[in-house]
Amino acid sequence: MLLCAGRSETLKKAVPIGVGLIESAINLTRMCLKNPDTESLIFIGSAGSYSPETELLSVFESIQGYQIEESFSHLNSYTPLDNSIHIETKDQALFERVGVNSSNYIHTSEMFAKKMVQKGVLLENMEFFSVLSVAKAFSLKAKGIFCVSNHVGLNAHQQFKENHAKVKQILENIIDSLII
């Protein structure tokens, strides 16, 4: 099943699951219950890069998701939950594989971004951790394909707005080239 977030990021041939961790988890769980023959999930969407060296509009793939808030990196919070998921796959990657962090908030701190890169996490996307969580619960294959719309920092939202139409076109071109 090919998935996208929805709202301003609806993509042809992809089913919208909602924006953020909660909406996407609830809606994707409903879809999986209604479609028990589903074998795999491919989430396709935009992402911010924690590294300012990552080229805007570049494309990455992920099977590794995190749910880390900035307060955690400052030791101002903790979680009793497992905040990382890795989906095992023997499938060959279509693009370079990287780690992706998800949050209901879009981070703007360059210090947080540096810490994430140091920990080996390159991208931020609001829904991906939910997709992997649902995939794990239903024993499904899963991965994400992401186009970099912006760098995490104070200008993240402006960069996102400037690049979003190009990102959507790149993602739709990728969808056209996928054999699903």
Helix, strand, or coil (residue 19) = coil
Q: What is the pLDDT of residues 76-118, one digit of tens each?
A: 888 888 899 999 998 899 999 999 999 999 999 999 999 999 9
Q: Which residues lie closer than 8 Å to 149 by C-beta, 6 or more apart?
A: 46, 47, 48, 56, 57, 159, 160, 163, 164, 167
Nearest to 123 by CA among 141, 103, 142, 93: 103
pLDDT at 179: 61
Cα gap 110→67, rounded to integer Å: 18
Give the number of other Cβ atoms within 10 Å of residue 71's Cβ. Answer: 11
Percentage of residues in the chain having pLDDT higher than 90: 88
Global pTM value: 0.94
Q: Phi/psi class of residue 136: alpha, beta or left (left: φ > 0; alpha: ψ in -120 to 50)?
A: alpha
Nearest to 142 by CA among 83, 76, 97: 97
Q: What is the pLDDT of residues 125-155, one digit of tens each?
A: 999 999 999 999 999 999 999 999 999 999 9
In the DSSP assignment, the letter for residue 92 is P
